[in-house]
Amino acid sequence: MRAALYTRVSTVDQHPETQLHDLRQMAAQRGYEIVQEYTDRISGAKARRPGLDELMRDVRRGRFDVVLVWASDRIARSVKHFLDVLDELNRLNVEFVSFREQIDTGGPLGRAVVTIIGVVAELERSLIVERVRAGMRRARLEGQHIGRPALALDRAAIVRERQHGQSLAQIARSHRASRATIHRVIHEQMPADITVQKGV
């Protein structure tokens, strides 16, 4: 059988060689001929995956009989996307094999197990997100600051610099703040009879 290998790592600092080693070994054990290997270095949640897109184009051209991945969650960003990929592979008579779960879609049981694993993986991601949000809510209720610390600005110096004719851009650079922040500070601190030209 002609095989395609697909690997995905989450960041550019990771390397797919571990996944590829396992997949090449599995292909050799099963007597598969590896036609091509595809790799994406991108987060699992990202919609666009050049390697996967190229793989699916080649699948549609009839280049493979089986697609090997290191784990089911490597190939899709959501359960819906996962099921869409499996459905298209099934429609094109291409088997799907996952190394980590030791399952394939060569029969109805394998297809059922892969679907269940996809559902569980998405549930786990949703629970992690909910735990993070709950932790942030608890921290706010306890009075803890969430996010970056507030920017400490020398407001008096900002006003002096503006009164001495410095532009918003110059002041922003010297205080490492945005022009919008400097503009707001000036308007809050300077007397109403001193005009400030926005954007100068």
- Answer yes or no: 10 catalytic: yes
Closest CA to 50 of 60, 38, 34, 59: 38
β-strands 2-9, 66-69 pairing: parallel
Beta bridge partner(s), residue 39: 7
Residue 75 burial (10 A CB sphere; 0-12, 13-18, 19+): buried
Backbone φ, ψ for residue 165 (5° rounding): 95, 5
Q: Could you tell me the two tokens for 66?
A: 């089986």
Round to whole Å and give the CA distance between 64 and 59: 6
CB atoms within 10 A of CB 174: 14
For residue 61, give Cα distances in angstroms to 39, 49, 192.
19, 19, 71
Cα distance from N-terminal residue to C-terminal residue, the chain: 68
**Active-site amino acid positions:** 10
